[in-house]
């Protein structure tokens, strides 16, 4: 079985499961006692049916040789970088409300610079601090977008 | 002359608006020329600005970016053989060989001039066709509008995907996401899981940032050192102004490319890359020197460049008159308009005529500033190509986060953006296009509203969609686009089987 057929098969199964979940939630949507009108669940049911039919078709494409299964040219991203990027992003999103945009952005920026291949410590430190501060003040002072300063709230009023 | 036209022109010609167009053009040229950054990413970067600026100024900025992004894409295609945007892929075929022969300046000059002429032609199309189409669209009733949106979605799926099923699935996922939040007819909360943040639904701009930016940021993990190879070639630019002989050579490709680009721009989903390749192909067939194509023909540069810039004006026509975006950029423009309480569609010309014409004239200025900034600043602009990605990519990442947050001053939207980023990666793994999902998110509420209003008015009689003339016409077009897509897919499979044998 070709690579793309396997992917179609996996995606078909996942989508069918999601479709079942969506159908379950749709079935439990509240109804309105208004005459000659469509219920709030009407459109979600239309979507459920379409999704079910299309997911089954995708599943069939995974099981049978009925479609073009040319696998797209993959961009070779080193997996360790991808995983590190994911971990860094999750840590950043957790820290963001606590630390605020300045501190969290400096740390995130420095981490990303390292992941993108920068190894000179001075560049990482200077770049992450400088750009994060410029972006923060640009948005806050020039564009008047209030960005929470988190733990630096006392310093950056 | 209608007072709206005069007011629109004066609105678009105010200093702030002009400056916004010029700034947009500058950013567009920079973003367009950097391989690994698309016009959509550029728009994402400036997106937070649109929340605080006046609507006419923010739209002017985005239009400048849109127009110049197309032109900027050709710079790296010519200098590096790496298209800055997908629309510039065809430009590299002849642009890079010409640059390799030491005529980089000539190639760039041809590309800039052809882009300008293509853009100008599409401005004329926009100026003359959009108000007429809006007038026709005023006659549409709910069943017609439902079928129109339905057709818009099917044709996007047909163009955007190699597999129609995956295109349609992408659109259906987008529609399912749109159902989160209040039901558009009765205000009933759906799929909100008692989360206050979900009551108003998922904002499509948040989804867009995640879907475009996260896969692009991960792609750049793969080719981090590319910027190092640019400097020597970028420095080798002499005179950029095209000579008279080149201008004469450009007549045919511009005459072919500009109408093709404008027409394909009007069709939702077709977009710049398709227009550029079709224009290249037709110009080659009609040229007196087809053998020169592929080895540095000036016509081979002008054909795709005039077409891809002509797409911009074409794509604005359905966006402004029908509220149907032709590509992700026009989808973002719709989002920017909605944020300011302006709904694109036929009523835009009636209720906000001055603004509608202002938008059209801002597009005109965008084309003017595009050529001016490109010619004057080219030698300095190409230096941007040497900015290390180690600085560029993290900057984009934090701008995306701020953009998501600033939309509703909410961390929840930042997490949603990241979730959509992961969805974008999964869809890429499956070779599923993201454009149908995005456009379904823009059009989904309209689709549901028109469907339900039509059914209520007709007392649940579905034949209402076949008895209205416009509706039937759009449904026939939708069916034709689906059949065409199936046929194209079948042909592609046959070709693949023959290759395997």
Tell me the per-residue pLDDT of B11-42, one tens digit each, with 9 for 90 and over: 999 999 999 999 999 999 988 888 767 788 88
Q: Report helix angle B39-52 to B15-33, nearest 10.
A: 150
Q: In the listed set A30, A63, A96, which residue is the last one of a domain according to the structure?
A: A63
**Residue B234's domain spans which residues?**
3-500
Q: Is residue A74 part of a domain?
A: no
Q: Give the single-character DSSP code of B114.
A: H
Q: Are A87 and A142 found together in one domain? A: yes
Contact B299, B253 (CB under 8 A): yes
Contact B474, B141 (CB under 8 A): no
Q: Could you give phi then psi for residue A32, rounded to 5 degrees?
A: -115, 135
**Total domain count, chain A:** 2
Mean pLDDT for A111-140 is 92
Q: Is residue A103 part of a domain?
A: yes
Mean pLDDT for B403-415 is 89
Q: Is residue A97 part of a domain?
A: yes
Residues of A in contact with B222 (CB under 8 A): 75-78
Instruction: Show Cβ contacts of residue A41 under 8 Å, excluding neighbours closer than 6 positions.
Output: A26, A27, A29, A31, B190
pLDDT, tens digit, 9 for 90 and up, residues A83-118: 999 999 999 999 999 999 999 999 999 999 999 888
Q: In the listed set A12, A28, A63, which residue is the last one of a domain according to the structure?
A: A63
B interface mutation test: which of A12, A38, A102, A107 has the most B CBs within 10 A? A38
Say which residue, A120 or B79, is predicted with more confidence.
A120
Q: Is residue A72 part of a domain?
A: no
Q: Are A89 and A148 found together in one domain? A: yes
Query: A-contacting residues of B 482-501, CB under 8 Å?
Result: 489, 492-493, 496
The answer to whether B411 contacts A58, with C-beta atoms less than 8 Å apart, is no
Smallest CA–CA distance from B54 into chain A, residue = A143
The answer to whether B456 contacts A37, with C-beta atoms less than 8 Å apart, is yes
A interface mutation test: which of B47, B48, B82, B176 has the most A CBs within 10 A? B176
Instruction: Give the pLDDT confidence score for residue B231 in this predicted structure.
Output: 44
pLDDT, tens digit, 9 for 90 and up, residues B220-274: 877 654 544 544 554 567 778 888 989 999 999 999 999 999 998 888 766 778 8
C-alpha angle with apex B273: B272 to B278, nearest 5 degrees? 100
Looking at CA atoms only, how far is residue B334 from chain A in angstroms?
A: 21
3-state secondary structure of B201: coil
Instruction: Give the pLDDT confidence score for residue B166 in this predicted structure.
Output: 92
Q: Could you give phi then psi for residue B182, rounded to 5 degrees?
A: -75, 135
Q: Are A11 and A58 found together in one domain? A: yes
In DSSP terms, B181 is beta-bridged to: B190
**Residue A22's domain spans which residues?**
3-63
Check whether B294 has a pLDDT greater than 80.
Answer: yes
B341: left (phi over 0), alpha (psi -120 to 50) or beta: left
The answer to whether B222 contacts A42, with C-beta atoms less than 8 Å apart, is no
Three-state secondary structure string covering chain A: CCHHHHHHHHHHHHHHHHHHHHHHHHHCCCCCCCCCCCCCCHHHHHHHHHHHHHHHHHHHHHHCCCCCCCCCCCCCCCHHHHHHHHHHHHHHHHHHHHHHHHHHHHHHHHHHHHHCCCCCHHHHHHHHHHHHHHHHHHHHHHCCCCCCCHHHCCCCC
**Total domain count, chain B:** 1
């Amino acid at each position: 079985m070709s690579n793309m057929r396997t992917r179609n098969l996996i995606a078909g199964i996942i989508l069918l499961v999601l479709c079942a979940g969506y159908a379950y939630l749709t079935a439990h949507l509240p109804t309105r006692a208004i005459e000659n009108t469509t219920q709030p669940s009407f459109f979600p049911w239309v979507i459920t049916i379409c999704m079910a039919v299309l997911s089954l078709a995708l599943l069939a494409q995974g099981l049978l040789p009925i479609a073009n299964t040319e696998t797209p040219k993959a961009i070779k991203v080193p997996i360790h970088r991808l995983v590190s990027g994911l971990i860094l992003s999750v840590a950043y999103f957790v820290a963001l409300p606590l630390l605020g945009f300045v501190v969290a952005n400096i740390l995130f920026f420095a981490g990303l610079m390292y992941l993108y291949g920068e190894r000179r410590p001075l560049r990482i430190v200077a770049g992450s601090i400088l750009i994060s501060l410029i972006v923060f003040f640009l948005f806050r002072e020039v564009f008047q977008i209030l960005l929470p300063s988190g733990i630096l709230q006392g310093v950056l009023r | 002359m209608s007072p709206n036209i005069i007011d629109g022109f004066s609105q678009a010609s105010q200093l702030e608006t002009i400056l916004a167009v010029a700034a947009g053009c500058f950013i567009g040229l920079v973003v367009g020329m950097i391989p690994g950054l698309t016009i959509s990413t550029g728009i994402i970067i400036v997106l937070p600005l649109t929340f605080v600026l006046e609507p006419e100024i923010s739209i002017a900025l985005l239009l400048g970016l849109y127009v110049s992004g197309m032109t900027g894409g050709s710079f790296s295609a010519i200098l590096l053989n790496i298209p800055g945007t997908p629309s510039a892929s065809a430009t590299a075929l002849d642009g890079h060989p010409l640059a390799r022969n030491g005529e980089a300046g000539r190639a760039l000059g041809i590309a800039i001039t052809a882009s300008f002429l293509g853009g100008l032609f599409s401005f004329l199309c926009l100026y003359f066709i959009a108000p007429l189409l809006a007038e026709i669209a005023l006659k549409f009733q709910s069943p017609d509008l439902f079928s129109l949106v339905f057709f818009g979605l099917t044709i996007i799926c047909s163009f955007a995907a190699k597999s129609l099923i995956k295109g349609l699935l992408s659109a259906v996922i987008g529609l399912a996401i749109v159902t989160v939040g209040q039901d558009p007819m009765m205000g009933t909360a759906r799929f909100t899981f008692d989360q206050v943040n979900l009551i108003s639904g998922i904002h499509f701009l948040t989804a867009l940032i995640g879907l475009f930016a996260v896969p692009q940021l991960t792609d750049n993990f793969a080719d981090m050192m590319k910027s190092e190879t640019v400097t020597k070639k970028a420095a080798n630019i002499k005179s950029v102004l095209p000579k008279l002989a080149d201008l004469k050579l450009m007549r045919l490709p511009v005459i072919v490319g500009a109408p093709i680009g404008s027409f394909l721009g009007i069709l939702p989903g077709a977009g710049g890359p398709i227009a550029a390749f079709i224009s290249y192909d037709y110009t080659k067939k009609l040229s007196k020197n087809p053998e020169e194509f592929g080895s540095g023909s000036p016509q081979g540069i002008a054909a795709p460049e005039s077409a891809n810039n002509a797409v911009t004006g074409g794509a604005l026509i359905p966006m402004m008159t029908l509220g149907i975006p032709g590509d992700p950029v026009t989808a973002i423009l719709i989002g920017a308009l909605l944020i300011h309480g302006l709904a694109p569609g036929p009523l835009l010309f009636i209720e906000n005529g001055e603004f509608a014409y202002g938008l059209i004239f801002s597009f005109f200025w965008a084309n003017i500033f595009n050529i001016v900034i490109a010619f004057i600043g080219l030698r300095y602009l190409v230096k941007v190509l040497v900015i290390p990605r180690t600085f560029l990519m993290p900057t984009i990442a934090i701008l995306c986060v701020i953009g998501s947050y600033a939309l509703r001053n909410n961390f929840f939207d930042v997490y949603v953006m990241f979730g959509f980023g992961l969805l974008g990666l999964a869809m890429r793994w499956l070779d599923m296009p993201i454009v149908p999902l995005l456009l379904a998110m823009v059009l989904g509420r309209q689709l549901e509203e028109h469907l339900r209003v039509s059914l209520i008015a007709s007392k649940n009689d579905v034949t209402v969609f076949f008895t209205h003339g416009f509706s039937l016409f759009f449904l026939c077009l939708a069916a034709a686009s689906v059949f065409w897509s199936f046929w194209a897919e079948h042909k592609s499979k046959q070709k693949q089987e023959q290759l395997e044998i």
